[in-house]
Amino acid sequence: MNNHPLRIFLLLAVLWGFAVLHAGACPVCYGAPDSPSTQGMTAAIFSLLGVTGGVLAAFATMFLRIRRRTRAMLREAVLSPSLHNTTVKEAESHG
């Protein structure tokens, strides 16, 4: 009866020993630069960065174009108020 806990301990120790032998780091974690999984992970990271950068650049371009068009419209309204007034009067008369 006293051997039962000792047997369980020895069995767990043997299993732990086998587990340690097979529990090596993967090539990505170990840092093998020539591994196909490391090269694939690097390519995936750069493609995700490219997509994210492209979307952010598109948003920045959109906001800059809106800003430029708004400034141009305001500049046109300030420089030629009579043109603006006649356009408004024409719109009111048509509709």
CA 71, CA 93: separation in Å to the nearest integer? 28
CA 43, CA 23: separation in Å to the nearest integer? 27
Q: How much is the pLDDT for 80?
A: 75
- Rounded to the nearest 10 degrees, how much is the dihedral formed by the CA atoms of 44, 48, 53, 55? 140
pTM: 0.50
Q: How much is the pLDDT for 27?
A: 65
pLDDT single digits (tens) 5-28: 888 888 888 888 877 766 666 666
Name the residue ranges covered by the structural domains of the chain: 28-94
Quick one: residue 38, left, alpha or beta (phi over 0 = left, psi -120 to 50 = alpha)?
A: alpha
CA 73, CA 76: separation in Å to the nearest integer? 5
Decide: 7 and 17 in contact? Cβ < 8 Å.
no
75: its two tokens: 């500049």
